């Protein structure tokens, strides 16, 4: 059996308590684990197929080999999703497997996917690969005709074989994903209202594309225990949500409840025990509470609302990011509401770039791609959920014009023939296109607003968003160079002018992102081991990107444990985690604790009240820039 993680922010190794890499490693008995490294897998794939791919581009366009090589060196946004699904196909004995050398056969492959929005993209990847194969095929056609006329006998060359391989992999993978006998989906969620909305949307999208969700796993369900005002309220809220899941999503599906352990289950032994406990029971298992020393929590820090936090003030661009399920949308919405209310003269925009939007759920308001104020929110706050598909649709005309220009510039009449319909254009767009639009929207928004608060996708894709400007600028530069080189054949025209413009705004954005006075990344996490390990990696990556990360918001803290043994033990464990988190940023970031609320705050009023109960555990003397 193979366990593989396709989430670019891997935490499979953290959960298993072993170090995993892109090479399979035996973790227990016959179980082998690996964390997919998509950029490296793509490099490997490209190294293997570079020559025939380059041949197709060289034969089918006016580009010479140097241009082709420069294009092949560019990184492709969203390659994670494309490669992820092909790698899985390869590992499970799909058509492409003969490509892999020395691969083992696995009876079962368990895939730990990225959070919702990007998983849907991953599953759509076969269509993208099929579209790429079609284009390559059209580019190859002319060459094929000439070759066959010269040789009299048509014989497939390496390029033909590559095109056939891609088309075959796309077809094979799409078929196997939809085959219930081979592929099943287990949807994992939390007993929280917001997760319910996301689950409904996600499961609906999966079923619409022909993928069957067989089981729903509700994780971190509070077990029964003696009375406690905090736990009782949480249990009541969780029951309400679980009932709703059963009613709205449970038909024809197994519902499995996983108990909330005092210590997050980590490592083989703990996970195996959890597996046994949930495999046998009817679902609702009553786990034993582990005995943990109840230490009374020493309370430090002071209450502070977001607008008064030094790490937030003065910034014009505030990114909120972290692991999925830690409450970053809630924290971002609360901060934006308070920052706007504190100074009516400032125009504030709250913008979500997460394809699995949850701002509407958190604010309990209809939110669209058009920035608008929300009910009970300050008038100077506008809220918007970026709709990448719509943004793409709106720019369709521009895109088609640009595509025509590229096609005539590169001599690839085939491209425009294929990409005539919008649906094909969308298929052609790299999966990371919404991140690119996300970045560009941030630039656009900056001219209209004094403060932009960005609710990003979970870690891996938030990082991709921030790395996007570098990749996008490389693209514009290579394309410009190529266009200018062939200016005797085609006028550089509108496309060149746009590329120059894009290149300039990307340069501005790069400078802005690296300027700690303007741009700050607020890391949201929970006081538990697995989120902390992901936070450590996130902070390291942010440092490498020269981004300022001056604050960590630790969400869902049990701040007033009272007498309940469970709450007290939870609180003591959380305190230890907060100390460990503080050490991660070497005392250079503000530690903010946001209280656990049951039910979680929804709507402007509740968020406002919740944010007034944030605590500042520690603020550094100097902001890390
Ligand atoms: Zn309690």
Q: Separation of 455 CA from ligand 1 center, angstroms?
A: 31
Q: What angle do CA 469, 471, 473 make, to 5 degrees?
A: 65
Q: Hey, what are 309's tokens?
A: 């936090």
Which residues, including other chains, have CB under 8 Å from residue 299's CB and lie 6 or more apart? 559
**Widest pairwise Cα distance in the chain:** 89
Write phi, then psi, for 554 (nearest 5 degrees): -95, 110
> Can you tell me the distance from the alpha carbon of 40 to that of 46, in angstroms, rounded to the nearest whole number?
10
**Residues surrounding ion ligand 1 at CB below 5 Å:** 228, 230-231, 564, 566-567
Give a yes or no: residue 481 inside a domain.
Answer: no
Which of 117, 149, 183 is at the close of a domain?
183
Q: How far apart, in whole angstroms, are the C-alpha atoms of residue 457 and residue 352? A: 8
Domain-ending residue, one of 154, 183, 212: 183
In a domain, 489, yes or no: no
The predicted pLDDT at position 396 comes to 57
DSSP for 402-459 reads HHHHHHHHHT-HHHHHHTTSHHHHHHHS-TTHHHHHHHHHHHHHHTT-SEEEEEPPSH
- 595 CA → ligand 1 middle, Å: 14
How much distance in Å is there from the Cα of 235 to the middle of ligand 1?
A: 10
Query: What was the pLDDT predicted at 428?
Result: 55
109 shares a domain with 82: yes
Looking at the fold, whether 69 and 159 belong to one and the same domain comes out as: yes
- Distance from residue 328's CA to the centre of ligand 1 (Å): 24
Single out the residue of 129, 230, 221, 205 nearest to residue 170, CA to CA. Answer: 129
Ligand 1 center–CA 556 separation, angstroms: 13
Looking at every residue in the chain, the average pLDDT score rounds to: 81
Burial label for 280, CB within 10 Å (0-12, 13-18, 19+), is: exposed
Same structural domain, 92 and 5: yes
C-alpha of residue 600 to centroid of ligand 1, in Å: 16
| Residue spans of the chain under pLDDT 70 | 77-78, 80-81, 92-104, 152-154, 278-300, 389, 391-439, 487-493, 621-625
| CA–centroid distance, residue 288 to ligand 1 (Å) | 15
Tokens of 173: 């993978």
Q: 607 CA to middle of ligand 1, Å?
A: 23
* Distance (Å) from CA 229 to ligand 1 centroid: 7
Ligand 1 center from residue 560 Cα (angstroms): 10
pLDDT value of position 607: 96
pLDDT in the model for residue 435:
63
Q: How far is the CA of 231 from the centre of ligand 1 (A)?
A: 4
Q: Are both 154 and 234 inside the same structural domain? A: no
pLDDT on residue 246: 94
Residue 256 near residue 218, CB atoms below 8 Å: yes
Tell me, in angstroms, the distance from the centre of ligand 1 to residue 262's CA.
11
Query: Which letter does DSSP use for residue 590 in this model?
Result: E
CA 565 – ligand 1 centroid, Å: 7
Ligand 1 centre and the CA of 290: distance in Å?
14
Contacts of 436 (CB under 8 A, 6+ apart): 77, 468, 472
CA of 46 to the centre of ligand 1 (A): 55
Domain-terminating residue out of 135, 154, 183? 183
Over the stretch 409-435, which tens digit does the pLDDT of each residue have?
Answer: 655 554 544 444 434 444 555 556 666
pLDDT of residue 624: 43
Residues 193 and 157 in one domain: no
CA of 219 to the centre of ligand 1 (A): 18
- Name 592's Cβ contacts closer than 8 Å, sequence gap at least 6: 304, 309, 551, 552, 553, 554, 614, 615, 616, 617
DSSP secondary structure string for all residues of 151-173:
HSS----HHHHHHHHHHHHHHHH
Ligand 1 centroid, distance to 303 Cα (angstroms): 22
Å from CA of 568 to ligand 1 middle: 7
Query: Per the domain annotation, does 441 fall within a domain?
Result: no
DSSP reduced 3-state for 240? helix
Q: And the tokens for 256?
A: 């499995």
Q: Are 550 and 621 in contact (CB under 8 A)?
A: no
Same domain, 313 and 284: no
* Separation CA 549–CA 523 (nearest Å): 7
Distance CA 339, CA 334 (A): 9
Assign 488 to helix, strand or coil.
Answer: coil
Instruction: List the Cα angle 611/616/622 in 5-degree steps.
Output: 125
Is residue 197 a part of any domain in this protein? Answer: yes
Distance of alpha carbon 80 from alpha carbon 45, whole angstroms = 13
> Residues 403, 415: contact at Cβ < 8 Å?
yes
Residue 28: Cβ-neighbour burial (10 angstroms; 0-12, 13-18, 19+): middle
How high is the pLDDT of residue 434?
Answer: 60
Task: Give the DSSP letter of residue 93.
Answer: T
CB atoms within 10 A of CB 165: 17
**What are the residues whose beta carbons fall under 8 Å from the beta carbon of 246, sequence distance 6 or more?**
255
154 and 279 in a single domain? The answer is no
CB 362 within 8 A of CB 350: no
Give the distance (Å) from ligand 1 centre to CA of residue 561.
Answer: 7
Q: Cα(293) to centroid of ligand 1, in Å?
A: 15
Give yes or no: residues 521 and 372 share one domain: yes
DSSP state of 95: G
Distance 487 CA to ligand 1 centre (A): 72
Give residue 70 CA to ligand 1 midpoint distance, Å. Answer: 60
Cα(611) to centroid(ligand 1), Å: 22
Q: DSSP label at 508?
A: H
Do residues 189 and 103 both lie within one domain? no
577: Cβ contacts below 8 Å, ≥ 6 apart? 527, 528, 529, 532, 554
CATH code at 221?
Answer: 3.40.50.300
Structural domain count, the chain: 3
Query: In terms of residue numbers, what domain contains 84?
Result: 1-183
Q: Is residue 29 part of a domain?
A: yes
Are 172 and 194 part of one and the same domain? no
CB 312 within 8 A of CB 621: no
How close is the Cα of 259 to the center of ligand 1, in Å?
15
CA of 232 to the centre of ligand 1 (A): 7
In the sheet with 31-35, reading across from the earlier edge strand, the strands are 25-28, 31-35, 2-5, 109-112
Q: Is 589 helix (H, G, I), strand (E, B) or coil?
A: coil
Q: Clarify whether residues 568 and 591 are in a common domain.
A: yes
**Distance (Å, whole) CA 337 – CA 335:** 5
Does residue 503 lie within any of the structural domains?
no
Residue 257 alpha carbon to ligand 1 centre in Å: 20
Does residue 487 lie within any of the structural domains? no
How far apart are the CA of 298 and the centre of ligand 1, in A? Answer: 17
Give the whole-angstrom CA distance, residue 77 versus residue 467. Answer: 10
Supply φ then ψ for residue 102, to 5 degrees: 65, 30
Let me know if residue 473 belongs to a domain: no
The reply to whether 97 and 119 lie within a common domain is: yes
Contacts of 624 (CB under 8 A, 6+ apart): 516, 548, 549, 550, 585, 588, 589
Distance from the CA of 569 to the center of ligand 1, in angstroms?
A: 9
């Amino acid at each position: 059996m193979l366990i593989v993680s396709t989430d670019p922010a891997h935490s499979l190794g953290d959960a298993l308590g072993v170090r995993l890499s892109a090479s399979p490693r035996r973790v227990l008995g016959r179980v082998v684990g690996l964390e997919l490294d998509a950029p490296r897998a793509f490099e490997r794939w490209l190294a293997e197929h570079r020559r025939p791919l380059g041949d197709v581009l060289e034969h089918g366009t006016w580009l010479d080999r140097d241009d082709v090589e420069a294009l092949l060196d560019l990184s492709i946004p969203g390659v994670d999703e494309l490669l992820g699904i092909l790698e899985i196909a390869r590992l499970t004995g799909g058509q492409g497997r003969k490509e892999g050398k020395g691969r083992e056969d696995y009876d079962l492959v368990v895939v730990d996917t990225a959070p919702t929005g990007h998983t849907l993209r991953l599953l759509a990847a076969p269509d993208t690969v099929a579209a790429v194969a079609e284009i390559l095929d059209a580019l190859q056609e002319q060459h094929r005709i000439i070759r066959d006329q010269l040789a009299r006998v048509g014989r497939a060359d390496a390029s033909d074989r590559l095109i056939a391989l891609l088309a075959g992999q796309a077809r094979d993978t799409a078929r196997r994903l939809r085959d219930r006998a081979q592929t099943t989906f287990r949807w994992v969620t939390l007993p929280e209202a917001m997760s319910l909305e996301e689950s409904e949307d996600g499961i609906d999208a999966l079923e619409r594309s022909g993928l069957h969700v067989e089981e729903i796993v509700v994780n971190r369900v509070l077990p029964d225990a003696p009375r406690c005002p905090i736990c009782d309220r949480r249990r009541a809220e969780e029951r309400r949500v679980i009932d709703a899941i059963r009613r709205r999503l449970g038909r024809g599906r197994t519902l499995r409840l996983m108990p909330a352990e005092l210590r997050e289950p980590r490592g083989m032994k703990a996970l195996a025990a959890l597996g046994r406990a949930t495999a046998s029971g009817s679902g609702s298992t009553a786990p034993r509470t582990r005995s943990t020393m109840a230490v009374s929590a020493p309370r430090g820090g002071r209450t502070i609302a977001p607008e008064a936090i030094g790490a937030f003030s003065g910034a014009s661009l505030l990114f909120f990011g972290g692991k999925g399920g830690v409450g970053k949308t809630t924290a971002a919405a609360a901060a934006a509401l308070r920052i706007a209310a504190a100074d009516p003269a400032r125009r504030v925009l709250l913008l979500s770039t997460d394809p699995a939007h949850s701002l509407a759920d958190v604010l309990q308001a209809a939110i669209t791609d058009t920035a608008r104020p929300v009910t009970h929110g300050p008038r100077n706050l506008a809220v918007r959920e970026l709709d990448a598909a719509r943004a793409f649709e709106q720019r369709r005309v521009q895109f088609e014009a640009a595509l025509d220009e590229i096609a005539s510039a590169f001599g690839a009449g085939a491209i425009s023939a294929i990409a005539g319909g919008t649906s094909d254009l969308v298929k052609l767009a790299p999966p990371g296109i919404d991140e690119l639009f996300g970045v560009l929207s941030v630039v656009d928004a900056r001219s209209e607003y004094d403060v932009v608060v960005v609710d990003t996708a979970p870690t891996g894709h938030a990082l991709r968003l921030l790395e996007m400007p570098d990749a996008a600028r490389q693209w514009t530069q290579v394309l410009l160079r190529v266009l200018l080189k062939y200016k005797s054949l085609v006028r550089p025209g509108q496309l060149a002018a746009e590329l120059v413009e894009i290149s300039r705004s990307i340069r501005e954005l790069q400078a802005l992102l690296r300027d700690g006075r303007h741009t700050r990344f607020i890391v949201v996490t929970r006081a538990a081991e697995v989120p902390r390990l992901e936070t450590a990696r996130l902070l390291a990556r942010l440092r490498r990107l020269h981004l300022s990360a001056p604050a960590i918001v630790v969400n869902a803290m049990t701040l007033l444990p009272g007498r309940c043994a469970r709450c007290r033990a939870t609180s003591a464990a959380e305190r230890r985690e907060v100390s460990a988190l503080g050490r991660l940023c070497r005392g250079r970031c503000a530690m903010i604790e946001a209280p656990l609320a049951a039910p979680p705050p929804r709507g402007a009023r509740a968020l406002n009240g919740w944010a007034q109960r944030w605590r500042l555990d520690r603020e550094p003397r100097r902001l890390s820039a």
